[in-house]
Amino acid sequence: MCGIAGIWQRERAPVDSAALRRMTRALVHRGPDEEGYFERDGIGLGHRRLSIIDLGSGQQPLCNEDGSVWISFNGEIFNYVELRKDLERRGHVFRTHSDTETIVHLYEEKGLRFVDDLNGQFALALWDARERRLILARDRVGIRPLFHTTLADGAFLFASEMKALLAHGGVGAEIDPVAIGQVATFWVTVPPRTPFKGIEELPPGHLLVLNERGRSAQRYWRHVFPGEHEYEQRSLDAWAGDVHELLHDAVRLQLRSDVPVATYLSGGLDSSILTSIVQRHHNHHLNTFSVQFADARFDESEYQRQMVEHLRTNHRSTTVSSADVGNAFADVVWFAERPTMRTAPAPLLRLSGLVREAGIKVVLTGEGADEIFGGYNIFREDKVRRYWARDPASERRAALLSRLYGYVERDRRAESFWRMFFRKNLELTDDPYYSHRRRWDNATQIKRAFAPDLRAQMQSEEESLDELTAYLDPGRQRWHPMCRAQYLEMMLFMSCYLLNTQGDRMMMANSVEGRVPFLDHRVIELAARVPPQFKIRGLQEKYLLKQAFVRELPPIITQRPKQPYRAPISSCFSPRQNHLAAELMREGELVRTGVANASVVGRLLQAADKGALAERDEMAVCTVASVQLLKHLFVDKLQPNETPNPNDHRRAMAS
């Protein structure tokens, strides 16, 4: 895994070498092992390397035999062994044993269709000197990030992280109020929008091609589900067998590495399945890692212990308190580069630090299983509400909602509130956003915590939905309702938040590469063909996945109730805390920055001190804190022509 950066001058003007080096060195955490550059008239590629495959000769940027095609690559191509054999049969000559060189020769063979053959997670920049064109590509679901911007003089910049673009010297950091409004509704920004004006992200599954005639974006892959009544008629056992076989193959490919590989073991179904498969394919004693919480409400250590005993792994864990979360939150925002409604990334940042301290560079994780196999409560909510909508007066149908949240303590008053919450717009089942509308309507109330001037610059609800609709597949209404809900979750929460803010960014902050076998595109495409009734049976989530691996896991894991990964929020930002996030939440700082409504946030913090904060209000506090940090770290503190340093805000706090 690595960091990439580059500059392209349409008029073939010389590249600013000093700026390219500042950009590339801003990504040192993504690639501490080596640094490399390629420069010609009008093009400059930079690379920071985290050595995983072909440790001795895989330096980048890398080229083909005659130097006409160059690449700077972040990621892994897991089927590179098979691709290389085929390319060698076709006459291509390799100089290294790296997966990266495979891409260059595949491009020579297939042109822009080279991405179709890649099984991997990647963000790359490829320079074709003959055609004088620059090609940016991002993996199918956005496991690896890629951002770009265009300067006033026409120079085009790209990089793995936005801080590298800001290090160029010609890009200013200005927070986009529209982006903040989208986060306070959808939980994420809608690609290609980012939190900073003028900076865009390349959406997952896309190519961006630039040449002297202009530029064009192309989608090369998309999520596809059968029509609602077009599913294959196969037995549950047949589907389970296919899932079992293909997931084993995905893990086999993703274990390819010239350095040791470990797994995260949370105690949930997905990481337990993944770790059990890795154990079968592993040549030596497997290392596993987990987060434990001082607060029992969030802790899953008993399930972790059960799996460690079952698989006999070499296990390490780190215990995290509310204070730890608060102390780490500035680092979270620095590396994530975006607002967040949750503190959940903070323990994962600490966990990747533990992994790196143990001398491990590669970790396999269970992300993606909930989205593709139907594990989230939002899918079950949608199913229950549609069932309830067919008989809105039914108390029995409404009561089914109580079965979805066993981990949440509720009294009769809270139960009545939840019933009213899910009852709103119950019968509007033709709404294309029916599954998510209640969540979004609830989240948008968070905007009240922001300053009136900032709120006035946010989009209207209609404008936000128009931008979202333009980003999504127009044919999704022909899919089963559950598939529509899965699609929204994958396109927004998974790709735009989970894989970045809780995945890539928190791992690469400590120079650790994360791999996600559930998101092998073959597994995604297989899961999409599975009839919805096999994913959620009654109200039992991920039924098919459990059946596929029930013989390999202890019953305590397959039969345990769903407990989503969460972390403390409200207690982390109290003004009594001594860390940067708490400092920026004090009244004087809230007034000075003009980001928040200081009186509203003050009342929320007072309620938090008494332990009386509702979930939505907790999310409001977290969102405001993250925007305050975003402004402080990137707008106020980061200076032009400066290589960003993640320790700067720590030094500022200490002084």
What are the DSSP E strand ranges found in 92-168? 120-128, 133-138, 147-150, 156-159
For 405-423, the pLDDT digits (tens) are: 765 555 666 677 778 889 9
Question: 508, 1 in Cβ contact below 8 A?
Answer: yes
Indicate the pLDDT class of residue 11, thresholds 50, 70 and 90. confident
Over residues 494-523, the mean pLDDT reads: 97
Percent of the chain's residues with pLDDT above 70: 96
Q: What sign results for the dihedral spanned by CA atoms 487, 491, 494, 499?
A: positive
For 14-51, the pLDDT digits (tens) are: 999 999 999 999 999 999 999 999 999 899 999 999 99
Over residues 477-492, the mean pLDDT reads: 98
Average pLDDT, the chain: 94
Confidence check: pLDDT of 284 > 80: no
Confidence check: pLDDT of 60 > 90: yes
For 295-319, the pLDDT digits (tens) are: 999 999 999 999 999 999 999 999 9
Over residues 168-189, the mean pLDDT reads: 96
pLDDT at 463: 97
When mean pLDDT is compared across 257-271, 413-427, 476-490, 578-592, the lowest value belongs to: 413-427
CA atoms within 13 A on the CB side of 217: 13
pLDDT at 403: 79
How far is residue 492's CA from residue 483's CA, in Å, rounded to a whole number?
14
Percent of the chain's residues with pLDDT above 90: 86
pLDDT at 416: 76
Indicate the pLDDT class of residue 224, thresholds 50, 70 and 90. very high
How far is residue 32's CA from residue 25's CA, in Å, rounded to a whole number?
9
Question: 178, 458 in Cβ contact below 8 A?
Answer: yes
- Helix (H) or strand (E) run with residue 207 in it: strand 206-211
Over residues 59-64, the mean pLDDT reads: 96
Residues constituting the chain: 655
Over residues 113-137, the mean pLDDT reads: 98
Indicate the pLDDT class of residue 119, thresholds 50, 70 and 90. very high
Q: Which residues contact residue 465 at a Cβ distance below 8 angstroms, ignoring those fewer than 6 apart?
A: 433
Question: 265, 531 in Cβ contact below 8 A?
Answer: no
- Extract the tokens encoding 117: 């053959």
Over residues 223-236, the mean pLDDT reads: 97
Over residues 234-254, the mean pLDDT reads: 98
Residue 10's nearest CA partner among 54, 51, 52, 43 is 43
Name the one residue in this structure whose structure tokens are 């930079």: 46
Give the neighbor-by-neighbor strand order of the sheet with 69-77. Answer: 62-63, 69-77, 120-128, 133-138, 206-211, 214-219
Amino acid at 636: D
- The CA-to-CA distance between both ends of the chain, in Å, stands at 35
Per the DSSP assignment, residues forming a β-bridge with 513 are 362
Over residues 356-369, the mean pLDDT reads: 97
Residue 124's nearest CA partner among 60, 67, 81 is 60
Confidence check: pLDDT of 282 > 90: no
**444 by DSSP, 3-state: which?**
helix
For 145-178, the pLDDT digits (tens) are: 999 999 999 999 999 999 999 999 999 999 999 9
Other CB atoms within a 10 A radius of the CB of residue 293 amount to 20
- List, as one string, the DSSP characters of 408-436: S---HHHHHHHHHHHHTTTT-TT-TTHHH
pLDDT at 562: 81
Name the one residue in this structure whose structure tokens are 């297939």: 110
For 573-632, the pLDDT digits (tens) are: 887 788 999 999 999 999 999 999 999 999 999 998 887 788 899 999 999 999 999 999
Over residues 177-185, the mean pLDDT reads: 97
pLDDT at 654: 32
